[in-house]
Amino acid sequence: MAEWFYFFYTALPAFLNGALVTLELTAVGVLAGFVLGLASALGRVYGGRWLRWLAIGYIELFRGTPLLVQLFLVYYGLPGLGLTLDRMPSAFIALALNSGAYQAEYLRGSILAIGEGQMMAGRAIGLSRWQTIRYIILPQALRLAIPAWSNEPVSLLKSTAVAFLIAVPDLMTRAKALAVQTYDPIGAYIAVAVIYLAMVYVLDAFLKLLEERARIPGYSVEGKKA
Amino acid sequence: MSQPVLVAQNLTKTYGNNVIFRNISLSVNERDTIVIVGPSGTGKSTLLRCLNLLTKADSGKIWLDGVEITDPTCCSEDECRQRIGMVFQNFLLFNHLTALDNVMIGLTKVKKMPKEQARRKAVEELERVGLVDRAGHYPGQLSGGQQQRVAIARALAMEPRVMLFDEPTSALDPELIGEVLAVMKQLAREGMTMLVVTHEMGFAREVANRMIFMEKGQILEEGTPDDLFERPKYERTRQFLWKIAELHGRKAPEENG
């Protein structure tokens, strides 16, 4: 046991580096995924037939296949098309594409929940369709989306562990190394589980704060008076 | 006779096989207050939306200040719409904006007015509806009557040529109807051109200079309120008007009479 603590202690810097990589994967995945998701949600709700089908195709493809398969196809498959990417960029792309598809569905749901009335009211004072989406629909839809959408960063943080399978030096990869060094896989994986748990806890607190800050006075999620 | 502001000719609207209204023609002159009444499902709301180009009529033409706005080459729809104010039954304020910002947003984003100037104008409009002390409140913090008055201020801020009201008091608790009607009466006195769909017969008799009775997608009868109440051409008009007058606004003419 003392030996394990010694190894854990010596491995701590590596764990922290690994945790930073995990956070980096999560942040890029969530942010780039948000841009993709928002574009697809808007395309699916407001786009013409062409754009709508493109968005549906993307969303269904990436929600319908395993993240691991997507990651392998980006890392091992793209070179076959003449595009060879490093480990980190491959992981970024796969996570962003995957997360974007999920985020699109959260955002689409809340855009639809805002309803046609707000669009009509915006158009009635002379705002264009795009202006109404930009200034009226989205500010409300994004706020409305936060509680459900908050699942996505939390879920993605843990999903980043698949990057270990293309040897990205993330938290999971460090745990594997520690397990080998100490001959104590259980201890190593418990240690890494605790670190994931702590990160999720902090992320959750941040998301709760975001939800609170974005709340519209006098207006609750159900659209009734608070 | 004063200038026609808004003219519609032979407007027809159908959804599939369902005819909402057919061959509606009407003319709203400067300073007119016209009240449209009729049973629900008669296409009154859809008619207002067509006049505002929010819904596209299947056929027919609309002129605003002598310019045909149904002609796609004449002007942009967005430009036409800001000159036609619209007030909805369920207020439809922008829930994420304060009362002041609700009134300001059209000025800054549509009219591209500088922020300070827009703020002054918005405060003026809120004063006009008696809500300047609620400028910083969000819609969820206002009563229905207050929300509707903000919605009126929001429309007025764009300085429309004509205001369309779609059952502006139907969604309100009875004790809140009066404050909205008072604002509308004041607008009529100030000479605003208004087209109002309402069941408030007290308001109609007191303020309207013309009334239109619509049924089954057609204008059955039109005239002054006295014509329609006292000397209707059709028995159906008398029946309907007196029935809703009894239900809604019977007291109003006496109060003011």
Q: What pLDDT is attached to residue A204?
A: 95
- Which pLDDT tens digits describe chain A residue by residue (226 residues)? 677 677 677 778 888 999 999 999 999 999 999 999 999 999 999 999 999 999 999 999 999 999 999 999 999 999 889 888 999 999 999 999 999 999 999 999 999 999 899 999 999 999 999 999 999 999 999 999 999 999 999 999 999 999 999 989 999 998 888 888 888 888 888 889 999 999 999 999 999 999 999 999 887 654 444 3
A226 and B90: CB-CB below 8 Å?
no
Summarised one tens digit per residue, pLDDT across range A108-158 is 999 999 989 999 999 999 999 999 999 999 999 999 999 999 999 999 999
CA-to-CA separations, B176 to A108, A153, B132, B142, B155, in angstroms, rounded: 36, 45, 18, 12, 20
- Judging contacts by C-beta atoms under 8 Å, the chain A residues touching residue B78 are 123, 126-128
| pTM for the structure as a whole | 0.89
**Closest CB to B92 among A120, A216, A219:** A120
Neighbours of A33 (CB within 10 A): 24
| ipTM summary value | 0.90
- Judging contacts by C-beta atoms under 8 Å, the chain B residues touching residue A223 are 95
Question: What stretches of chain B show up as alpha helix (H) in DSSP?
Answer: 44-51, 77-82, 99-109, 115-128, 144-157, 174-189, 201-207, 225-230, 235-247, 251-256
Closest among B168, B160, B156 to B91, alpha carbons compared: B168
Q: Which residues of chain B have pLDDT under 70?
A: 1, 248-257
Q: How far out from the chain centre does Cα A33 lie?
A: 6
Q: Residues with Cβ < 8 Å from A76, sequence gap 6 or more?
A: none
Q: What is the CATH number of domain A2-214?
A: 1.10.3720.10
Neighbours of B112 (CB within 10 A): 8
A143 and B52: CB-CB below 8 Å?
no
Residues of A with CB under 8 A from a CB of B: 117-118, 120-128, 131, 135-136, 139-140, 143, 216-220, 223, 225-226
Residue type, B92: L
CA-to-CA separations, B254 to B141, B229, B250, in angstroms, rounded: 34, 15, 8
Average pLDDT, chain B: 92
Q: What pLDDT is attached to residue A14?
A: 86
The whole-angstrom distance between B207's CA and the closest CA on chain A is 25
Q: What pLDDT is attached to residue B2?
A: 75
The whole-angstrom distance between B69's CA and the closest CA on chain A is 14
Neighbours of B176 (CB within 10 A): 17
Distance CA B139, CA A62 (A): 39
B78 and A128: CB-CB below 8 Å?
yes
